[in-house]
Structure 1
């Protein structure tokens, strides 16, 4: 079962061994083509296609809901334990106001019996006790004191078990502990009006402690004002005249002479008396405070008369009023209640100013002359009896819209509660199909009134609902609550638990959760709350579903729960579904969730279907009408709007991220291009400088200057050239050739043979990148300028030399020809080395 704080799935854990199976069917290509024609006609709204196909049975359910068709085996959050208001400032969080009965039973027994064997009998039979309490409370509307209910359930458990006396006494003792732990708490089942009961409970939790605090404040003001009069009387002549003095002595004062006392008393003390105006103001405030009695009524409902109000009248602090315009009447009723308290609040403020001797008539008299509810403090507004308008969804979307809008815009901290049927369109006319036009979203209508609190929730998720109530009460703004209870009209369809149906509305995006609280700030990030929705990042929640295929093998399929799945639970919407006969095999049939994600042009070529399970645990595909698909798109559109408001999958944020990423990529590319250009320029400068130096050395060599040094630096491998004396032994025929023939040879031919077929490094171009020494530190060595030279060729391979040439950033390594003809792969290596000749 899901926890109260994590609504990743709105469905509880399934119980039982029921695994649906696919029917065995023979596939016929020709029959499929003919059938697809009929299916398409039904999808497009042809009555002939509808008549030709089989409708859904009364016991058919969406596949994901099949495990919960037996309500007696369904465990869920209700009944609830409602805790009484705590002493203090009335700021109890939602988690301290209500708790699932199952959780409370488990935690309480664990508290007084922490050991494994402690309270073993009671611990083992808590599920039975929970089921008995749920059954007992099923037909009762509203909360009951928990102790009598628990005592009765305990007696039933003892009779059910039929224990011997020893075990019966032990169980009875633990049951007494359980009932004692409940104290003044109440227990409540999931009846017809759970949302109203929880609203009343939330109001009591806020108002009762605050009223006690305000009463203490009033009492302090009364004492303070009376002390002012006592001080003032002490200044008067009457307080010290003989008769008063004699009376103050009392009987037995015969030896006391009041006349003599009067002669010697100092009449000059405290002669500055209270002005008549101040005295009258204090007397009036004191009279108001002493005559004030708190109104026992905390909640006043105004409704259209369609609600059974007997349970309201049974509560001492709840009253109801029938009116054809609940919102309009609630406005006037709040003003009446606020006017009653305006005198009291003004008297308290005047008393505190007078007691502190800071009342200034020029400032405060005009203020209190027009003192109304608009001047109430936050704490004072919370003390006004809560006025709740119970509206009808269709009425506020039609003729009641003006009154609703005026109340939402008024700023009066009244509560408007509208019970929603997610399958209906509040804006549709009575004789219109709910899918004839796009749905009027009352929640979005509430958001348009920017200073109103909007709370769309469900009684099936009590923590989310109570949290929304508390935020609305604390905000002291006009509040619109849109509540789905999951109640279904009587029909021949399989009867489902109302709590489960309400959960399906949340799951199928038919009634998503959201809260907008203007008191939280001016930005949507502060105002909007989106918690409680399952898989809020996705279009539709997806859950695993187990079934048996045609071969009887158990398999698992990930199914999305869509608005179409929820619509299958609504009796008057079942005509939007038809059975796809077994054996119909076509690529044009796609699941609804996939169909809705397709582009419209492509979707129009396909047909959407759902998975459903009948009462015999047979799994079927069900075709969905085009009208219902349009409604699914409409619900999905609203869901995306809410996601955007809440900052979940916000398209503006996504575009900003994409734009930032593109800018970063462009900036990085520009920086890389600039670095490459700078590097190329630097390499070219180094190459030109090295070429100039090489030409200078070559010129010096040809002119006979420092020949040994020049050749020694040029020859590859770091080997020095032969001494000049050896060069002088050149063939004399070369020297005796005519001058003309010598001049015809190019200058470079006149240079000595530098052996470029041998490996060599253009050392001045080396950038000291360390790439070649990492390949072989003996083959490649650094000179004193940390520039590469060839080392011992016998310590390396031609392959390593070619590899170094390929990765060299300065392209200054020239592999030449291989020196070891036995090295493998020479043909390929020579081909690679040709680029560096």
Structure 2
């Protein structure tokens, strides 16, 4: 049994891990400084666009792949999410979620087998060969376009598995029983979908059907209830009428006959008066007309109408009766026309149901409601009614929409009509340049960003390679009942000289390289970008480029493990028409002027101008090479990075406004702290000067008393007067004891005072983010104020180590440990060194 490689286990990491076991190595070469200078001259000139330099450098081979994609050059061994198991629409429940609409086939197989045989030893052969079944079904679906019946396809593969294994009679019977149980687990109407040319289209149809059939059932229940209500209303009115007590009616109602019963006489003597008035003829006609419309209504069998310019060749669309295919040179303009036509067909049934409810509730007012229903159109439809309009999908060509179709594209996005616009884009191409234009000659036209400018439209950018994200985008758009733009990348590459790669993998590389980032915007969520924007699904969304571990052997045969970024330049290596923007860097070239593309893009354009960027690539012989890229491609990488930063800012990831607000708050807090420090220092200096003056005055007074012999109470005798010269202001004037007292009264120097007053621990409480990281360290030391922000508590019940640990954990860097209060605490030198960055 062939082991099939799994490509991506984690949604947060789009690139798979290296399971091939092949470690690439750098080629050995002699490094020559003079040769390097000459090569750098050529490489720099190639980078700047010199045709002569391009001719002198070696082109890269057709088997070269970005270093991080080298393990997956054998696409036959790639295991990925497709085929998908599409669950049948469930009309009895509420809307199905993305997870309830589809899942990878391997997931469904594992869950179904585990449900049928939960014991470890049961269905052992089948459990062991589920990957074989998955692989066989994938091969079958490569020859078919669109969804296929899950039960029939799985049965075909089950027969193939039995033939492949060739088991003995006993084991074959066990396997057959397990396979039958598996086939019985397939829900009726379930389908399988391979990764063909139009998976995004088929998933949209699947989402539409799941929602529409549920809505259709609910609407039919509403019609049936309205019909019953109007019939009961007419029945009550008929009972009030004279016709209900005609002789024949009286006889039939009493149920008597014969010669002794005369219904005419009975009718004549019956009281024909009524407690309420009968309905007017106008109202009766209105009720009967509504009844006639509702009883004669039949839902449209066509659920989806596709419009395209004639390039769609999907035979599956002709095979299903719920889809209608329409070609037109301007799909967006035609989509508006078709939606208006289909919505107009539904105005009569929607009016009838609404009139019925008003009549049943006896609140229909002709003066108010007659004019309103006379002008009833799709703009007055409720959301539930809008969802019942058959879906209209304009399948646009990227270059047509960005060119001659731009005006009608914009009109449709601004119209509010719940039409789905599906545009398939090539991640490397520029829709504004057209099919034949150079995609790197100008800044890329971002159709999704153009859609964002139409503020009331739903906009998403997704990929069929991530089916869950794509289905969530579709369900969000269908629920919003607004014009919706879906910009989709499939990863399909035209046949060419390059190494064939799985389209699912190429589409994943477009997501990884920021060539086709994910997002969805729903105006229904609110007016703030924070609630409108969903940025999930992007790998390592807080970075410029995703980083992945990479291992190789250097030119000495030593194993080296590093991290490589996957950039737009790496994705460009997969595109044949962009291969001319790369040239091979000879192995012996060793210069500081060469810089990896991620480091090159991290520099400002002024700094990067003197450097030559490169990417890492691996050939079919597992040799690792540096490949120089043209300046045009480097600028395209910078343009894609700029768009990525724009989306990050809209999503609140690395938002510059937030960073500026934090910096401003920190500066204000530092200024307040500095001002407070100056004030305290000034007050301290003033107090020191006051104490000094008071001490000096007291000393002089005592000296004067001694000299004049006025210390009567102290009993001063002439012999107590100090001998020696007397000089006012000299230390010899005062006795030794008085000098000691005066020295003791002098304040400590400024440095000592500062250490006593300003090296205590403190917290910039307004900067606290309420992360709770510090509280578990010591709940007595760190406490919250009324605004859930940290402040210091009991310092006597804490250690300096706890203060330093909290400062290191604090994401806001607002804890300042100061200097240790307990000089006997162990390991103080190390703790003071760790605390230093937080005390600045």
- TM (norm. structure 2) is 0.85
What secondary structure does 1:319 align onto? strand
Shift of 1:488: 0.3
CA distance in 1, matches of 2:272, 2:489: 76
- Which residue number in structure 1 is paired with residue 234 of structure 2? 229
Q: Among residues 156, 161, 178, which one is paired with 2:182 in the alignment?
A: 178
Q: Could you report, residue by residue, the CA deviation over 1:336-380 in whole angstroms, capped at 9, with x for unpaired residues?
A: 110011111111000001001111111111111100000000110
State whether residues 700 and 707 of structure 1, in contact with CA within 8 Å, keep that contact through their aligned partners in structure 2: no
Provide the aligned length of Structure 1 versus Structure 2: 749
Structure 1 residue 127 and structure 2 residue 131: aligned?
yes
| Conservation of the 8 A alpha-carbon contact between 1:90 and 1:208 | no
Q: Aligned to 2:398, which of 386, 393, 402?
A: 393
1:443 alignment partner, one of 425, 443, 448: 448
Alignment equivalent of 2:541, drawn from 533, 536, 545: 536
Correspondence for 2:525? 520
Query: How many Å separate the matches in 1 of 2:435 and 2:73?
Result: 32
Which of 719, 724, 734 matches 1:728? 719
Say whether the 8 Å CA contact 1:15–1:73 is kept in structure 2.
no
Cα distance in 2 for partners of 1:333, 1:23 equals 62
Q: Residue 257 of structure 1 aligns with which residue?
A: 262
Instruction: Say if 1:459 and 1:254 are closer, same or farther in 2 by CA, change over 3 A.
Output: farther
Say whether 1:414 aligns with 2:425: no
| Native 8 Å contact 1:592 1:610 kept in 2 | yes
CA 274–748 in structure 1, closer or farther in 2 if over 3 Å, else same: same
Q: In structure 2, do the counterparts of structure 1 residues 31 and 3 end up closer, same or farther at CA, with 3 Å as the change threshold?
A: closer
Matching residue within 96, 99, 102 for 1:95: 99
Q: CA deviation at 1:227?
A: 0.8
Q: Is the 8 A contact 1:90 1:210 kept in 2?
A: no
Which residue does 2:317 correspond to in 1?
312
- 2:116 counterpart residue number: 112
The answer on whether the counterparts of 2:727 and 2:733 sit within 8 Å (CA) in structure 1 is no
**Structure 1: which 5+ residue stretches go unaligned?**
710-722, 735-740, 773-806, 808-837
Higher Cα Rg, which structure: 1
- Provide Cα deviations, 1:536-556, integer angstroms capped at 9, x if missing partner: 111111111111111222222
Pairwise CA distance, 1:501: 0.5
Q: Does 1:344 align with 2:353?
A: no
Cα pair 1:129 1:153 within 8 Å, conserved: yes
Q: 1:464 aligns with which of 437, 457, 469?
A: 469
SS at 2:245 equivalent: coil
Structure 2 residue 55 is the aligned partner of structure 1 residue 51: yes
Q: Which residue of 1 aligns with 2:635?
A: 630
Gaps of 5+ in 2: 1-5, 757-818, 820-840
Picking from 552, 566, 573, the partner of 1:568 is 573
Counterpart CA distance in 2 for 1:488 and 1:752 is 101
Q: Which residue of 2 aligns with 1:160?
A: 164
Which residue of structure 1 aligns with residue 86 of structure 2? 82
Deviations 1:509-559 (Å, cap 9, x if unpaired)?
A: 111111111111111111111111111111111111111111222222211
Cα distance change on mapping 1:750 and 1:562 into 2, 3 Å: closer
Contact 1:412 1:478 in 2 (8 A): yes
Aligned with 2:291 (options 272, 277, 286): 286
From 134, 151, 157, give the equivalent of 2:155: 151
* Cα separation, partners in 2 of 1:429 and 1:302, compared to 1, 3 Å: closer
Query: Which shows bigger deviation, 760-769 or 124-133?
Result: 760-769
State the 1:149 CA deviation.
Answer: 1.9
1:746-771 CA distances to partner (integer Å, 9 max, x unpaired)? 48678553158979862596999999
State the Cα distance separating 1:244 from its structure 2 match.
2.1
Q: In the TM superposition, what whole-angstrom CA distance separates every residue of 1:137-157 from its partner, at most 9, and x where no partner exists? A: 122111122222222222222
Shift of 1:632: 1.1
Alignment match, 1:786: none
**Structure 1 residue 103: deviation in Å?**
2.1
CA 1:218–1:699: 2 relative to 1, 3 Å: same
1:612 corresponding residue in structure 2: 617
The aligned counterpart of 1:19 is: 23
CA distance in 1, matches of 2:424, 2:755: 76
Residues 141 and 311 in structure 1, CA contact (< 8 A), matched pair in contact too: yes
Instruction: Call closer, same or farther: CA 1:699–1:307 in 2, change over 3 Å.
Output: same
Report deviation, 1:163.
2.6
**Correspondence for 2:364 among 346, 359, 372:** 359
Task: Find the aligned partners of 1:242 and 1:302 in 2 and give their Cα distance.
Answer: 64
What is the alpha-carbon distance in structure 2 between the residues aligned to residue 2 and residue 86 of structure 1?
31
- Superposition deviation, residue 706 in structure 1: 5.2
- Which of 682, 688, 693 pairs up with 1:688? 693
Pick which of 684-693 and 314-323 moved more.
Answer: 684-693
> Counterpart of 1:295 in 2: which secondary structure?
coil
SS at match of 1:388: strand
Partner of 1:207 in structure 2?
A: 212
Return the alpha-carbon distance in structure 2 between the equivalents of residues 486 and 355 of structure 1: 56
Residue 703 of structure 1 and its aligned partner are, at CA, apart by 4.2
Q: What are the superposed Cα offsets for residues 6-63 of structure 1, whole Å, 9 maximum, x if unpaired?
A: 5332112332211111111111222222222222222122222121111111111111
Alignment partners' CA distance in 1, 2:729 and 2:554: 90
> Could you say which residue in structure 1 is the equivalent of 2:588?
583
Distance (Å, rounded) in 1 between the aligned partners of 2:514 and 2:559: 30
